A and B are shown apart, each in its own frame.
Chain A
Amino acid sequence: MNWTLMWDSLPRLLAALPLTLQLVALALAFGAVLAFATALLRLSGNRVAVALTSAYTFVFRGTPLLVQIFLIYYGLSQIDLIRDSFLWPVLSQPMWCAILALALNTGAYTSEILRGAIETVPQEQVEAARACGMSRVRLFRRIVLPVAIRQMLPAYGNEVILMVKASSLASTITMMEITGVARRMIAQTFAVFEIFIVAGILYLLINFVATRLIKHAEWRTTPYLRARA
């Protein structure tokens, strides 16, 4: 075990940390919006909307993320319609292709988590809210959504960790995030274990912090479960 090499690799791997965090944060943010819209459309009962959203979640949950990334990065650039459109400045960049693929992927998984959570909101609570004279929108905003979000947090925590790990695939389309840098350094130094351990610890730390944040959100949203002082 070459300790100095491990120590020396740390600054270069740390320098790639912001890119990893950026990929994860943007993918999660866009993915959340997408998941919200998808879950609502899926529950709307409209036949076309249900068919479209089911197809979306089926395709993105049933194929590997690597295929999705390559399809977006290499595949879309082949279509003239896209090359000529206003989207091209965005889609010609690997960064946005990676974010788009990650967001579409997490959006599909998260929409199913959210849908499941919305369906478990107790019917009595909805009836009670209706009896209080709440409109549909207010009922959704004040009762259904807060209860559902509280319900989905543990599963969403897993999804966040999966996204942190999934961001490593951006390295296959030239993004130099932590895994990309680690791969390059392994190829240069052949110190496979040393670099794997440092990069691995960085990922474990990110995931540890993410888990703590989700746990904190769970704690904040369940005041009634805390022991009263």
Chain B
Amino acid sequence: MLDLLDSGLTSGLHGWGPQLLSGTAMTIAVALSSFLLGLAFGAAGAAAKLSDSLVLRGLAELYTTAVRGVPELLVIYLLFFGGSGMIMAVAGIFGYGGLIELNAFSIGVAAVGLISGAYSTEVIRGAVKSVPYGQIEAARACGMGRWRILRRVLVPQTLRFALPGLGNVWQLTLKDTALISVTALAEIMRVAHTAAGSTRQSFLFYSVAALLYLALTTVSTTAFQQAERYASRGVRRA
């Protein structure tokens, strides 16, 4: 078992090293874009869930329940096979009848972002609710407007409360990117799969892939711990 790994590593991963590295860069790019897209969905979803409108609340509830209850792979298939059709239907409403093809990157980001957003919605909603209401009343008493309250009171504290949860969502998102390898986007998993197929060294390449993911998750755990420390720098520790 170890000599399989050893012979592979000494031969420079049979020449697949550079591809694996660019695959890692692709994984990071997809994960970051999806996570940011997910944050946007999450903020919108949380705002909808906390709004007074029954319709908005219902829609947000449907979004989080459906996306969190259906396998990620199924959501990816939906966008991979149906994404272009959806975009073309929307474009058709605006009078554009041409063919629109989405590339694997945008489909992947849309799919993983959609999933990430459903989890972010719950995290952000919980964080907003844990800002004490008295502080908002106090801000109002000081004569702050709605936007100023949002910017100065609500957002900074929501961020602090949301960080641990968002850290978990980031880990989920990072690991979910492995699933877009089914759309042939050249991220870690896809490169490992291709390399394993062409060299017949499955054990080696999937182990390397596992190590790469492990490195990414470990680094991001530390980064989120730092961010949490930074966000709670003004909070007295018991």
Complex contact B78–A196 (CB within 8 A): yes
Verify A199–B203 contact, CB threshold 8 A.
no
Q: How far is the CA of A68 from the CA of B203 in the complex (A)?
A: 11
B231 → chain A, closest Cβ, in Å?
Answer: 24
B contact residues around A167 at 8 Å (CB): 71
Binds A, one of B14-22, B137-145, B176-184: B176-184
Q: Would you call B77 and A200 a contact (CB within 8 A)?
A: no
Closest to B203 in A: A75
- In the complex, whether A63 has a CB less than 8 A from a CB of chain B is yes
Residue B193 at the chain A interface, CB threshold 8 Å:
yes
- Is A183's CB within 8 Å of the partner chain B? yes
Number of B residues contacting the other chain (C-beta, 8 Å)? 39
- A2 interface residue, CB < 8 Å from B? no
Asked if B214 CB lies within 8 Å of chain A CBs, one says yes
Point out the residues of chain B lying under 8 angstroms from A179, CB to CB. Answer: 71, 73-74, 77
Please name all residues of chain B whose beta carbon is closer than 8 Å to the beta carbon of A166 when the two chains form the complex.
71
Contact partners of A63 in chain B: CB under 8 A: 175, 210, 213-214, 217
B-contact 0/1 string along A107-140, CB 8 Å cutoff: 0000000000000000000000000000000000
Which stretch (B40-48, B62-70, B99-107, B127-135) binds chain A? Answer: B62-70
Q: Which residue on B lies nearest to A166, using beta carbons?
A: B71
- Which of A39-47, A89-97, A185-193 forms part of the interface with chain B? A185-193
Closest to A192 in B: B82
Q: Which interface residue of A74, A79, A168 has the most chain B CB atoms within 10 A? A: A74
Residue in contact with B213 in the complex, picked from A62, A168, A183, A193, CB distance below 8 Å: A62
Whether a CB of chain B sits under 8 angstroms from the CB of A171 is yes
Contact A76 B82 (CB under 8 A): no
Task: Name the contact of A78 in the complex, choosing from B66, B82, B203 (C-beta under 8 A).
Answer: B203
Q: How far is the CB of A88 from chain B (nearest CB, A)?
A: 15
Whether A5 is near chain B, meaning CB under 8 Å from some CB there, is no
Q: How far is A203 from B72 in the complex, measured between Cα atoms in Å? A: 11
A-B interface pairs (CB < 8 A), number: 119
Contact with A along B202-222 (1 / 0, CB 8 A): 110011011001100110000
For residue B218, which residue of chain A has the nearest CB? A62
Return the contact of B193 from the options A64, A70, A165, A168 (Cβ within 8 A): A70
Q: How far is the CA of A63 from the CA of B192 in the complex (A)?
A: 14
A167 to B175, CA, bound (A): 15
Report how far A68 CA is from B178 CA in the complex, Å: 11
Residues in B whose Cβ lies below 8 Å from that of A76: 203
Tell me the chain A residues, 51-79 only, with Cβ under 8 Å from chain B.
58-59, 62-68, 70-71, 74-79
Say whether B206 contacts A70, CB under 8 Å: yes
Contact B65 A71 (CB under 8 A): no
**Contact pick for A64, options B68, B82, B175, CB 8 Å:** B175
- Chain B residues 1 to 16 lying within 8 A of chain A, measured CB to CB, are 1, 4
A75:B207 contact, CB within 8 angstroms: yes
- In the complex with contacts A71-B207, A74-B196, A196-B82 CB distance below 8 A: yes
- Complex Cα distance, B74 from A203, in Å, reads 10
Complex interface residues of chain A between 178 and 229 (CB less than 8 A to chain B): 179, 182-183, 186-187, 190, 192-193, 196, 199-200, 203-204, 207-208
Residue from B1, B74, B177, B200 in contact with A200 in the complex, judged by beta carbons closer than 8 Å: B74
B201 at the interface (CB under 8 A from A): yes
19 A-B pairs in the complex with CB atoms less than 8 angstroms apart? A62-B213, A62-B218, A63-B213, A64-B176, A64-B178, A66-B181, A67-B209, A67-B213, A70-B206, A74-B196, A74-B202, A76-B203, A78-B200, A81-B1, A165-B69, A169-B73, A169-B179, A193-B82, A204-B70
